[in-house]
Amino acid sequence: MPSLKPLKKAVLPVAGLGTRFLPATKALAKEMLPVVDKPLIQYAVEEARAAGIEQFCFITGRGKTAIVEHFDVAYELEKTLSERGKEKELAQLRAEAMEPGSIVTVRQQVPMGLGHAIWCARHFIQDDPFAILLPDDLMLCDVSCTKQLADAYRETGGNVVAIEEVPRERVNRYGVLDVEKDMGRLVSVKGLVEKPPVEKAPSNLTIIGRYVLMPEVIGHLSKMERGAGGEVQLTDSMAKLIGAQPFHGVRYEGRRFDCGDKAGFLEAQIAFALKREDMAGAVRDFLARYR
Ligand code: G1P
């Protein structure tokens, strides 16, 4: 296999309106909603960094400036923490600081779908492979989910998407795989369909919000063909890569929480709190009261 380009870039679409979380999201970007004490967007960035990603492109829209602020150095805050002797908090902020110049933002001026959002990052992507992380999908994994995909990219030399099995009646909410060969952890793909009707779905293996794609997908996206829901769908352009490039699903190890959904978001709070030594006991105790 010819030597592969290293995976250093990630695109994070954050332009969505967050209507399902109104009124919380009236003046607050939904990606800034915290799970325990960390905003969703920060979980995604940390997951990507754990996979060796160094360059980030946020696809933003109106009302999303807090996301960019969040990753800036908070000079006044650091000074105050230092004066008050809050060394632990200060050390945490500094450890999380981003490399200067590692984040760029692009505005998606009109909501035309996920495919259109990714196309907006074309000048950032250039000729490089890139990861996509949808921050609504919060991952609880021992090994960063994006790292699992990055490893699979190095193994297969092509496009990889994280997948999971869902009950048949729910396939119509996702991008669905048409399986060529199921090899266990890796699944080679002969087709992809976005949000098919349940009775027409080719399998119950669905795409979650983690991808590593080759830059050629941009050429297909630029045709701006509308798909499911009248939107420019990323899934449709990914499907066009099949045959020309390797394309695999990866059964990732870990759990996904759909934080675009209220119940999923609440479950994530509990699951992440139970992972915290400083909280697990108290959370277990109060949960016992709700049986
Ligand atoms: C998007 C993708 C879909 C994927 C899903 C995962 O859909 O279009 O293929 O399965 O993310 O969360 P959305 O949830 O934005 O409708």
> Comparing C-alpha atoms, which of 219, 8, 239 is closest to residue 129?
8
Report how many helices (DSSP H) and strands (DSSP E) the chain contains, helices first.
11, 13
* Rounded Cα gap, residues 240 and 217, in angstroms: 8
Whole-number Å distance, alpha carbon 270 to ligand 1 midpoint, is 24
The finding on whether 114 has its CB within 6 A of some atom of ligand 1 is: yes
User: How many other CB atoms sit within 10 Å of the CB of residue 76?
Assistant: 7
Structure confidence by residue, pLDDT tens digits, 242-276? 999 999 999 999 999 999 999 999 999 999 999 99
pTM of the model: 0.96
40-66 pLDDT tens trace: 999 999 999 999 999 999 999 988 999
Residue 236 CB less than 6 A away from ligand 1: no
CA of 140 to the centre of ligand 1 (A): 18
Atom number in ligand 1 closest to CA 235: 9
The pLDDT assigned to 2 comes to 61
Q: Once rounded to an integer, what is the mean pLDDT over residues 189-201?
A: 97
Domains of the chain, first to last: 9-286 (3.90.550.10)
CA 101, 105, 106: angle at the middle one, nearest 5? 145
Q: How far is CA 87 from CA 12, 69, 96, 209, 286, in A?
A: 31, 22, 14, 36, 31
Q: Say yes or no: CB of residue 232 within 6 Å of ligand 1.
A: no
Ligand 1: residue of 40, 165, 207 to mutate (most ligand atoms within 8 A of CB) is 207
